[in-house]
Amino acid sequence: MDFRKDSRSIRLRTRLIFYSTIILLLVMALVIILVEKRQSETIHEEARKRGITIAGHLAAVSTNALLTYNYIVLKQNAERVVLEKDVLYVIIHDKEDKVAAYSQHDEKQGMILTDEVSQKATRARAPLIQPILYGEKEVRVLDISIPVYIKESQEKWGTIRIGLSLEGMSSQILKTRLNLLFLGGFAIALGILGSIFFARRITQPISNLVGTTIAAAKGDLDQVIDIHTGDEIEELGKNFNHMIQQIRLHQTELENRLREITSLKAYTDNVLSSMTNGLITIDLEEKIVTLNEMAERILGKRSGKIVGLPLERVLSEDHPLYRMMIETLSREEGVFRSEMELKKDEGSLWLTVGTSLLTDGKGKKLGALVLFQDITGIKALEEKLRQADRLAALGTLSAGLAHEVKNPLSAIKTFVQLLPRKLENPSFMEKFNSTVPREIDRINQLVEDLLELTRRRVHPFVALDVNYLILQVIDLHGEEMEKKQIRFEDHLDRTIPPVEGNSETLYRAFSNLAINAIQAMPEGGSLIISSKHDSPSSGLQIIFRDTGVGMDEETSKNLFNPFFTTKDRGVGLGMALTHKIIEDHRGTIEVMSEKGAGTTFVLMLPVIKS
């Protein structure tokens, strides 16, 4: 904005002057008009009065003369009166209306004047004023006629007429007018000057004030207003100074704050730009407010191009990100998707997306924010890993399988290889007959188990009592447990409802778990098995807990992987099978173990809904 320093002040001054001049002019005009009118009227009135007075006096002194037709005296009187200022003529009519005296017109003496004015005058029975135009120059004259009566008689003894020139009056009026105009003009001039002067005096400080405020607005806060008019403006000036001071103080503060904010912003910007997450914020109108570099890259858009545009336009109405943002805004709470797939031409983009509602400090809704992480790579890696895992698993499986098979095979091979040599040995043959088929069975079982693992067999499900099965398993392994000094703790809840399942496989599962526990306690320990049904809506919970050697994290993680064996566990497929069986039963199995403290298996089986 370009500030002309005094433009506002000049206008104010002009306005002040203009208005005061207008008012002055109006007032003066009014005054002049009124005064002039009054004056004129007065002058008029004076003239008339004077005329009548003169005529009256003349009438008074002429009474005797009229009575005696003393034209001499009447003429003397007339000639004397005509000398009066503004008296143009004096005519005295005798009783018969003949001219007894006519100033400067001696020839008219004795005649009767036939003009209308004279006729009217001589006929009038009361003082009569007739305005006429007299003489060659047609001077404006008041013909003032006074009939002369004597106290004692009703008869009119004569008429006194004087012609009072209004020129003098007119010139006086004119002079008055001129004087008034002069005076008025002068007063106006003085008034204008005065108003200019005073307007200046008033507006100068204002102008200063304006100038200072402009300077201050431009940033120059060192201005101090120095006004000493002793009025409101001075106050204003003082207050302004105070204000400026305050502003200056605040400005410093603000500057500091600004610096803080700037650095904060720089920091935030830095953060935003270096964030590996993409960030988009929108306002209440769904217009994009912020878009960081990562978001740009992820979405393949440039922030310069899309900031300010509605999100809908940038992403499209059915874009999942957009939908999430809208949901956030409407539900006023954040939404989280651990995985979101964005279908693109070159393939899919996988994001972890989280939104939140943006509020100001007071909880007022400002917009929404979405943070997303491109996990496509991760996902891919995950896939690879899974693949690797699968491969590994497969490897492990194969390795495990190989390992499990190699042992029986080696036994069989040895016996077979020794067969020609030790055919005759009956103890050998005994051993041979017991070991070899056994080992072959072992191999066969492995194969069966493997098949079992991969088989999608739908076993016929019946209602089962889990506790019964468990106890059976314990019973089976009772001997071994005893030998290894493993105690069984029965925490089975007898009130549990039946479970839908296959008794054979479920038995197998429980058996594996028991074997696992037993194997974990070579020095002895306790195997605590509990079953409970917490609430009608929950499933059946079965816990196998041992006080064995426990597992490290990696082991417990890969426990259910087939053939996963560490040096500590060599169960082979057992756990994998167990896992599959439980899953077939639509249950879950989880393991918690701590190396040296023991292992706990938590199973959940759905109950029959009755």
Partner 1 sequence: MTFKVFIFVFAFLFCFTLLFERGGFSTEDKPGIEKSRGTYRRPLEFNPKTLDPALSVDIHAVTVIQQLFDGLVQFDKDLNVIPAVARSWKVSPDGLTYTFYLKEGVKFHNGREVTSTDFVYSFTRILDPDIKSSSSDFFTRILGAKEFMERKAKEVKGLIAQDKLTLKITLSEPYAPFISILAMKGAKVVPKEEVEKLEPTFGQSPVGTGPFKFVSMKEGEEIVLEANPDYFEGRPYLDKVIFKIFHGGPREEILILFKNGELEDSFIPFRDVEEISKSKQYIFLQKPILSLRFYGLNTQIGPLKIEKIRKAINSSVPKELIGRDILKRMAHLTDRIIPLGMPGYTPIKGSFGYQPQKAKQLLREAGYPEGKGLPPIEFWSAAKAELAVKELEMVKTYLSETGIKLNIKYETQWPKFQEILSSKRAPMFMYAWYADFPDPDNFLWTLFHSKSRYNYTNYHNPEVDRLLDRARAERDYLKRMEMYRKIEEMILDDAPIVPMVNHLFQMVYQPYVRGVEVSALGGPYIPMKKIWLKK
Partner 2 sequence: MEHLSKRILVVDDDQGILDSFEVLLGDRYNLVMTDNGYEALRIIETKPPRLVFLDIKMPGLDGMDVLKKLRKDQKQVEVVIITATQRDEIEREAKSLGAIDFLTKPLNIVEVERIASQILS
Contact residues for partner 2 (CB under 8 A)? Answer: 399, 402-404, 406-415, 417-418, 422, 428, 431-432, 435, 438-439, 442, 519, 522, 549, 565, 567-570
For residues 165 and 103, give the distance between their C-alpha atoms in angstroms, rounded to a whole number: 14
Partner that binds at residue 183, options partner 2, partner 1, none, CB closer than 5 to 8 Å by kind:
partner 1
Please, what is the minimum distance in Å from the beta carbon of residue 83 to partner 1? 11
**Residue 318 in the binding site for partner 1 (CB under 8 A):** no
**Residue 35 in the binding site for partner 1 (CB under 8 A):** no
For residues 411 and 405, give the distance between their C-alpha atoms in angstroms, rounded to a whole number: 10
- Could you tell me which stretch among 60-68, 128-136, 336-344, 460-468 binds partner 1 (CB under 8 A)? 60-68
Taking the least distance from each CB to partner 1, the nearer of 197 and 267 is: 197
Nearest to 529 by CA among 514, 517, 544: 544
523-582 binders of partner 1 (CB under 8 A): none
Partner that binds at residue 190, options partner 2, partner 1, none, CB closer than 5 to 8 Å by kind:
partner 1
Phi, psi at residue 608, to the nearest 5°?
-75, 130
What residues contact 513, with CB distance under 8 A and at least 6 apart?
A: 544, 578, 601
For residues 603 and 560, give the distance between their C-alpha atoms in angstroms, rounded to a whole number: 13
Taking the least distance from each CB to partner 1, the nearer of 5 and 80 is: 80
What residues contact 180, with CB distance under 8 A and at least 6 apart?
A: 32, 35, 36, 39
**Residue 76 in the binding site for partner 1 (CB under 8 A):** yes
Taking the least distance from each CB to partner 2, the nearer of 299 and 549 is: 549
Partner that binds at residue 606, options partner 1, partner 2, none, CB closer than 5 to 8 Å by kind:
none
Taking the least distance from each CB to partner 2, the nearer of 314 and 514 is: 514
**Given candidates 24, 32, 47, 65, which one binds partner 1 under the rule CB under 8 A?**
65
Beta strand pairing call for 540-546 and 598-605: antiparallel
For residues 363 and 327, give the distance between their C-alpha atoms in angstroms, rounded to a whole number: 18
Please, what is the minimum distance in Å from the beta carbon of residue 515 to partner 2? 11
148-207 binders of partner 1 (CB under 8 A): 171, 175, 179, 182-183, 186, 189-190, 193, 197
What residues contact 478, with CB distance under 8 A and at least 6 apart?
A: 488
What residues contact 556, with CB distance under 8 A and at least 6 apart?
A: 591, 592, 593, 599
Partner that binds at residue 109, options partner 2, partner 1, none, CB closer than 5 to 8 Å by kind:
partner 1
Partner that binds at residue 306, options partner 2, partner 1, none, CB closer than 5 to 8 Å by kind:
none
Helical H segments across 533-589, by residue range: 553-557, 574-584
**Residue 69 in the binding site for partner 1 (CB under 8 A):** yes
396-415 binders of partner 1 (CB under 8 A): none
Phi, psi at residue 588, to the nearest 5°?
-130, 150
Nearest to 99 by CA among 79, 116, 120, 122: 122
Angle between helices 376-422 and 426-454 (to 10 degrees): 160
**Given candidates 98, 156, 161, 287, which one binds partner 1 under the rule CB under 8 A?**
98
Please, what is the minimum distance in Å from the beta carbon of residue 445 to partner 2? 13
Taking the least distance from each CB to partner 1, the nearer of 184 and 400 is: 184
Please, what is the minimum distance in Å from the beta carbon of residue 79 to partner 1? 4
Taking the least distance from each CB to partner 1, the nearer of 80 and 384 is: 80
Partner that binds at residue 522, options partner 2, partner 1, none, CB closer than 5 to 8 Å by kind:
partner 2
Partner that binds at residue 163, options partner 2, partner 1, none, CB closer than 5 to 8 Å by kind:
none
Please, what is the minimum distance in Å from the beta carbon of residue 555 to partner 2? 12
Partner that binds at residue 106, options partner 2, partner 1, none, CB closer than 5 to 8 Å by kind:
partner 1
Q: What is the CA 140 to chain-centroid distance, rounded?
A: 84
Partner that binds at residue 533, options partner 1, partner 2, none, CB closer than 5 to 8 Å by kind:
none
**Given candidates 71, 415, 432, 488, which one binds partner 1 under the rule CB under 8 A?**
71
Task: Please give the biggest Cα pair distance in the chain.
Answer: 216
Partner that binds at residue 431, options partner 1, partner 2, none, CB closer than 5 to 8 Å by kind:
partner 2
**Residue 70 in the binding site for partner 1 (CB under 8 A):** yes
**Given candidates 64, 256, 263, 454, which one binds partner 1 under the rule CB under 8 A?**
64
Taking the least distance from each CB to partner 2, the nearer of 80 and 406 is: 406
Partner that binds at residue 71, options partner 2, partner 1, none, CB closer than 5 to 8 Å by kind:
partner 1
Partner that binds at residue 67, options partner 2, partner 1, none, CB closer than 5 to 8 Å by kind:
partner 1
Nearest to 227 by CA among 216, 240, 245: 240
For residues 67 and 94, give the distance between their C-alpha atoms in angstroms, rounded to a whole number: 9
Phi/psi-derived region of residue 266, left when phi > 0, alpha when psi is between -120 and 50, beta in every other case: alpha
CB neighbour class for 307 (10 Å; exposed up to 12, middle 13-18, buried from 19): middle
Task: Please report, as a single letter, which amino acid is at residue 260.
Answer: E
Reduced to 3 states, what is the DSSP secondary structure of residue 368? strand
**Residue 95 in the binding site for partner 1 (CB under 8 A):** yes
Taking the least distance from each CB to partner 2, the nearer of 438 and 557 is: 438
Taking the least distance from each CB to partner 1, the nearer of 63 and 445 is: 63
Taking the least distance from each CB to partner 1, the nearer of 175 and 305 is: 175
**Given candidates 68, 252, 316, 434, which one binds partner 1 under the rule CB under 8 A?**
68
Quote the DSSP letter at residue 277.
S
For residues 525 and 599, give the distance between their C-alpha atoms in angstroms, rounded to a whole number: 12
Taking the least distance from each CB to partner 2, the nearer of 45 and 480 is: 480
Per the CB < 8 A criterion, the answer to whether 599 and 517 are in contact is: yes
CB neighbour class for 334 (10 Å; exposed up to 12, middle 13-18, buried from 19): middle
Task: Please report, as a single letter, which amino acid is at residue 587.
Answer: G
Per the CB < 8 A criterion, the answer to whether 525 and 599 are in contact is: no
Q: Which residues bind partner 1 (CB under 8 A)?
A: 64-65, 67-73, 75-76, 79-80, 94-96, 98, 100, 106-107, 109-110, 171, 175, 179, 182-183, 186, 189-190, 193, 197
